[in-house]
Chain A
Amino acid sequence: MPATDTDRAAATPSGSTTILRLTVNNHPGVMLQICGLFARRAFNLEGIFCTAIGRGDTSRIWLTVDAADRLDQVVKQLAKLEDVLAVEDRADARDRVEAMAAMMGRIG
């Protein structure tokens, strides 16, 4: 998913964000678990993409989070959730996530 210059500008990421990739159990409450954690622990959450993967037992969630704001705590708290199977810091995927964000913004 190549990103154009326009796409990057549209996503306007702040310089201090990073990307987390989660693998989670796919059930109706899991998004609430993730978003609830960020809300109640007052962590910043800039963006979220979620979709079922494989045979639908698991989901992939991409999070854009504040890299400066207690990132270590964010990762540890996410890893503690029973439905979270893996947490990876994927700063390397920033361009692709930004492109996806830009695309989301364009969809009418």
Chain B
Amino acid sequence: MPRLSGAQIIIHQLERHGIRTVTGIPGGANLPLYDALADTTAIRHVLARHEQGAGFIAQGMARSTGRPAVCFATSGPGATNVLTALADAYLDSIPLVCITGQVPRSLLGTDAFQEVDTYGMSMPITKHNYLARSAAELLTMVPKALRLAGSGRPGPVLIDVPKDVQTEVVEFAAWPEPCPTADHRPGDEQAIAQAAAMINGATRPILYLGGGVIHAGAAAAARQLAEQAAIPAVMTLMGLGILPSDHPLSLGMLGMHACRATNLAMEECDVLIAAGVRFDDRATGRISAFCPNAKVIHVDIDASEIGKLRPADAGITSDAGRAFAGLLPLIRPRRRGQWNERIRQLRRDFPCFPAQNFAPGKPFQLIRRIAELAGPEALISTDVGKHQMWVAQAYPFTAPRQLLTSGGLGTMGFGLPAAIGASLAFPGRPVVCFSGDGSLQMNIQELATAVEQQTPVRIVVLNNRSLGLVRQQQRLFYDQRYFASSYGIAVDFATIARGFGMRAFDLDGAAEPDRLLRQAMAEPGPCLINVPIDIEEEVTPMVPPGAANTTMIGDDYARN
């Protein structure tokens, strides 16, 4: 009969469920867990430099593979530091299991050293959370947490484990049977038939595809549906990659920073096929004016998303893969010459990428050049800000899970640790992190982790010495009263990277910037590339927050 401590049970269960990498930071309250981890060779531990970094490293693994990833943090500040990464995973439905240390049971509720109510604080930002009250219950709790995180609508799960539960020794007869995988509802046949009739009868349909399609592994089916019935498709930030950027039916990203033609096409749509999306305000603009003439088909595995913000004429509670599988045989092949010609006309009238955006030194030119050098296999992470939107607009994505970006929470500091996680999961693939000078400074300590682990991430810093999107909003909506949005000092990121032992390149004043770029992208190990960007480069077009998506300002076509 196995006789193990709570900490050993956790490590064994992680190992038994296929976890091969764990990231985190030890501290007083999770030392027994680390002591047990030291005994296994099956799990590699990646020591982060900040618990938020650990959370995002785990996210990088989870987002790039689609499988749950695990991070550890100690009690108190360790737990509060990791909360941002949990909230981020919650809003983007990323499977994460976070195991935190807690003060011993006898001290719970006494304001003990490094005690916070981790259970209470994590409740609104996790799919589910546990406070382990005995070592015995960890036997089933750990597998359940992994299953919950990865099944249905994925999300983060937290297990808070008091120190004396970690050390408590229990004897048990046998390891529990593996948890049954969650049943995926096939979706109601009647709703699918109704949706199919709506699609077949539509004149100007549009597919509106989001992260849920990627979580369901349904990108190929989505593409088949689009092609079979010649339906143009828009993607959310989380959905980029479902259709390759250059696919004739792809209209790219919708919403606040969409191409003008994309938002205008949606205005004319008569049937909106929304799948794996949640009608986020950054995507829809003012919801009452979103696709005003369209009937809505809404596919989501989470029943509470259907009708949450926009009533659905046909609601299919199912993962996108099963819903598409049900729909495809019922959808009549169509060419929709008129509708697709109308869209081509819109795109001719309002080209997404005017030639001047690709002049040397312009963000689009840089992003496209890096894409060429990185190749189609590259995994791309971004931070949050102007560079993120430029990447979303201009990077030639070819596959789902290629872009790792903080969509719902919009967390600056996401990019570097997420890139490290992606590189740990796919050591053979190039990984590029597009960051900004503001974002990079929010988790810059993880440069040390990248060097220590020798994860070959290329960090491209689009450096405009400002909080660019904040400054842009001050310019557009606050009478150009710039306040607290630019930095008073020039940080030398190349020198800082070198201080961490990382190769670094600075394109500032470089005689042959392209040669430097090529050299940097060919580096075998991690490296940083600083690229000065004009502070006045803006993200356009832009839908003002709260406005209808057809109100786009800032670009050459805007009448403002």
Contacts and interface: CB of A to CB of B under 8 A. Distances in A.
Interface of A: 28-29, 32-33, 36, 40, 72-73, 76-77, 79-83
Nearest to A74: B304
A48 B127 CA distance: 23
Contacts, number: 29
Contacts of A28: 131
Contact of A32 (B120, B303, B307): B120
Contact of A29 (B123, B148, B302, B304): B123
A83 B123 CA distance: 12
Contact of B124 (A29, A36, A79, A80): A36
B325 to A, nearest CB: 24
B303 A79 contact: yes
Contacts of B131: 28-29
A32 B121 CA distance: 11
Nearest to B127: A82
Nearest to B303: A76
A33 B303 contact: no
B429 interface: no
27 contacts: A28-B131, A29-B119, A29-B120, A29-B123, A29-B129, A29-B131, A32-B120, A32-B123, A33-B123, A36-B123, A36-B124, A40-B124, A72-B307, A73-B304, A73-B307, A73-B308, A76-B303, A76-B304, A77-B304, A79-B304, A80-B302, A80-B303, A80-B304, A82-B127, A82-B128, A82-B148, A83-B128
Task: List the 7 closest A-B pairs by CB distance, nearest first.
Answer: A76-B304, A82-B128, A76-B303, A77-B304, A40-B124, A36-B123, A80-B304
Nearest to A70: B308
A75 to B, nearest CB: 9
A77 B308 CA distance: 10
Contacts of A36: 123-124
Interface residues of B, number: 14
Interface string B217-231: 000000000000000
A79 to B, nearest CB: 7
Nearest to B119: A29
Contacts of A29: 119-120, 123, 129, 131
Contacts of A83: 128
Interface string B69-112: 00000000000000000000000000000000000000000000
A60 B435 CA distance: 50
Interface in B112-151: 119-120, 123-124, 127-129, 131, 148
A1 B123 CA distance: 36
Nearest to A76: B304
A82 to B, nearest CB: 4
A72 B304 CA distance: 8
B316 to A, nearest CB: 15
Interface in B267-322: 302-304, 307-308
B345 to A, nearest CB: 40
Given A29-B119, A76-B304, A82-B128, 5 more contacts: A28-B131, A76-B303, A80-B303, A82-B127, A83-B128
A28 B128 CA distance: 14
**Most A C-beta atoms less than 10 A away, residue of B119, B127, B129, B303:** B303
Nearest to A77: B304
A45 to B, nearest CB: 16
Nearest to A83: B128
Contacts of A79: 303-304
B306 to A, nearest CB: 8
B281 to A, nearest CB: 16
B313 to A, nearest CB: 15
A79 B306 CA distance: 14
B262 to A, nearest CB: 29
B436 to A, nearest CB: 31
B152 to A, nearest CB: 9
A28 B120 CA distance: 11
B553 to A, nearest CB: 31
B537 to A, nearest CB: 38
Contacts of B304: 73, 76-77, 79-80
Contacts of B128: 81-83
Nearest to B153: A80
A36 B148 CA distance: 20
A80 B151 CA distance: 13
A69 to B, nearest CB: 14
A40 B121 CA distance: 13
A83 B119 CA distance: 14
A42 B127 CA distance: 19
Contacts of B307: 72-73
B507 to A, nearest CB: 45
A80 B152 CA distance: 11
A83 B130 CA distance: 11
A76 B153 CA distance: 14
A41 B131 CA distance: 24
A61 B493 CA distance: 56
A29 B131 CA distance: 9
Contacts of A80: 302-304
Nearest to B120: A32
Interface in B136-177: 148
A36 B124 CA distance: 7
Contacts of B129: 29
A77 B307 CA distance: 12
B211 to A, nearest CB: 18
Contacts of A32: 120, 123
